[in-house]
Structures are given as C-alpha cells and as structure tokens.
Amino acid sequence: MSGLNFYMHDGPKTFRFELAGALAGIEVSRLDQAWRTASSTFDGKTLAVDVTFLTAADQNGRDLLFRWWRVGAHLIANSDESRKMVQAITGLPYEPSTVGPTFEPRFARSAFRAAAAAAIVAGMLLFPAKASAADDAGAVLERYSSAMTGPGLNKGLDTGLVQVEIEGSVPRLEKRARVEAIRRSAGGKRAYQFVTVEGDSFVRNEMIARYFAMDTDGEPMAAAITKSNYKFKFVTNEGTAAVFQITPRKKRMGMIAGEMRIDTESGLVTHLEGRMVKSPSVLLKRVDITQEMEIQDGVTIGRETHLGISTRFTGRAELTIREKRSGVAEVAEYVTR
C-alpha cells in the first residue's frame, strides 16, 4: 500500500482515526489538516489514533503522533511492529488503551474478506475424477484427464447432504470462531442450515459468513486442475497413490503450485498441497493450502481444507473447512445432538 489512507470514526464517546500505509512527506500535513478540521467536532470526546496498520512513519509523522499523544490522544497498536513504533514515539513501554472500540477496523475487515475469498478458491480447487488402476503414471494421468472432461464426473461432495464445520482464527488478534452447518445441493445451487455458531463475531462475520455467502453465489473462482491449465510432472509412487508436481501454465487467481496425489485404484485425488501463485487481494502476502480427502467405494465422502493466510496488517490467519457427506439420518442426529 503506497501513501497514507486514513478513516475517521465518530462514536458516542470516542473520536477515532484509523491510519494505514506510510505517514511521511506531504501525508503528514494532510493528516494534520484533517485533525484540525475534525477537532471542532470532538466536544469533549476521547481521541483515539489506531496505528496498527501503519507501515512506516518519517520524523515529521512521528512528531505529529507525539504531539497528539501529549495532548491526551490514545495511541492504539495491535501488532508487534506498531507497538514498537509507539514505544519509540512516547519513550515509554506500551500499555493497551482503555478506550473501547467504536468500530471494527476497516483495514482488518478488508484482509478478512480477502481471506474468505481465498478459502472459497481452495474449496473449489478439486474436481474429483476416476481413472483405472495402472502402474504407468502417464496412463493414470491420461485417464484422470479424460474423466475430468467426461460425462462420468464423480460429484462426490457436490451433491446431497454434507456436514460442514469451519474454524477461523487470527492468533495475533486473539480472535477465534467456529460454525457448523448442513449443506444441501440441488440443481447446481447450494444452501446452508446452520447448527452451531460460536466465537468472536468479527471472525464469524468477516471470514466465515463471507465464505458461506460466496459459496452459495455459484460463480466459479478456480480453474480446474487439468492439462490445459497445469503442467504435471510425475514424482513417485507412494503405496497406491501416484504423486505429481503441479505448476500453473499461467499465473491466474485461484491457481496453485504444489503437489497432488491420485489414488491409482479409484482415480480420485487423495491429497493436495501448495500455495496460491496469485493472491486474491493485495492485502494477502501468501496463501498456503492443504487438502486431505476421504474416499469410500469410489466416492469422495470427506474433505478437510486448511489455509494458512499471511495478511499484510493482521498477521497470520488460519481457516479450516471440514466437509463430510451424510445421509438424512446422520444429519438429523448431527443437528439434534
């Protein structure tokens, strides 16, 4: 993020500035002018300045924050880097502000939304297909590729009733949440019935809820893992699985570089791991993905997707999505347990 972005939030008792980017050069005078204009509306309110998302500050920028602090402003820092900056400015150990939040930080919200988009992409990466058992890796791959575009595509988790559990967390902010739901798929559309909703509302609303909303939208966000989109390089055989290194032919959103294992008996993908070659958002530095599939009678009945998401402002976020295909009786027990 270049330059400085700032937002002003007027609460009942607190007027808050949220800063992001670099507080340097002409941006210092621009922010100071905004302060002078807004100060006429403070009317006895506490001033809070959230510097969590500042990436840098020159000497004039630090001097401005020092002046605000000297006249009573609360400097709020929710990351290690921002706390070090505040300590350097004030010359005192950082102490968490007693000012309660008057809003959910705009830049944290944006990072969470981008993380939800990454989760949707990960959940749509696999398109299970069958291939006959074969010792020759090339034959396995050819049969896999043929089935990917053929009429016998195994829908697995894309039909019927599926139990879904999602856990999200941002360790640095000590925020966690968990949601359980039943997914029903019919006519190419998905709908959810929620069973359990618990944990931090910020994570629920900005990561998990957005995952569900985007998942029911039905718009494809990931390119299929086919030879037209990826290069495949055979690595080895491990037990009943053929291991391939996969590399996107072009760097497009939703594509990953990593490793895929195909069960040579059923032709289904059993394991996928790698990283996204192109981030869904500039707010995300890196997205690592691991998927494990459970196969039964030639059908994928379970999948666990784990994402490790490095954001630019809130540190690392974790998202785990567990999907399990179920019958009506199992769902009824799941809902009433």
Check: CB of residue 177 under 8 Å from CB of residue 198. Answer: yes
d(CA 192, CA 321): 14
51: nearest Cα among 22, 93, 25: 22
Kindly state the average pLDDT of the residues 230-254.
89
Q: From CA 150, how far away is CA 164, in angstroms rounded?
A: 28
Question: Bridge-partner residues for 270, per DSSP?
Answer: none
Q: Kindly give the pairing relationship between strand 4-10 and strand 14-23.
A: antiparallel
Domain ranges of the chain: 4-103, 107-336
Q: What angle do CA 29, 31, 34 make, to 5 degrees?
A: 110
**3-state SS string for 161-215:** EEEEEEEEEEHHHCEEEEEEEEEEEECCEEEEEEEEEEECHHHHHHHHHHHHHHH
pTM higher than the cut 0.75: no
**Kind of pairing between the strands at 241-248 and 230-238:** antiparallel
- The whole-angstrom separation of Cα 28 and Cα 49 is 14
pLDDT at 334: 56
If pLDDT is split at 50, 70 and 90, which confidence band does 177 have?
Answer: very high
Q: What angle do CA 141, 142, 144 make, to 5 degrees?
A: 60
Tell me which of 83-87, 202-206, 235-239, 244-248 is least confident: 202-206
Q: What is the dihedral of CA 160, 121, 141, 159, to 10 degrees?
A: 10
Nearest to 293 by CA among 280, 307, 278, 304: 304
CA dist 321 and 310 (Å) reads: 17
Q: Is 257:277 a contact under the CB 8 Å cutoff?
A: yes
The pLDDT score that the predictor gives to residue 133 is 42
C-beta of residue 198 within 8 angstroms of C-beta of residue 207 = no
**First and final C-alpha spacing in the chain:** 48
Give the separation between CA 175 and CA 3, rounded to whole angstroms: 29
244 contacts 235 by C-beta, under 8 angstroms: yes
In the predicted structure, residue 330 carries a pLDDT above the cut 70:
no
Instruction: Give the pLDDT of residue 173.
Output: 80
Q: Per residue in 295-308, pLDDT tens? A: 887 778 899 999 89
CATH class name, domain 4-103: alpha beta
What's the mean pLDDT in 152-159?
60
Answer for the pair 182, 195: CB distance below 8 angstroms, yes or no: yes
Residue 153 has pLDDT above 50, yes or no: no
Joined together, the tokens standing for residue 245 give 């290194």
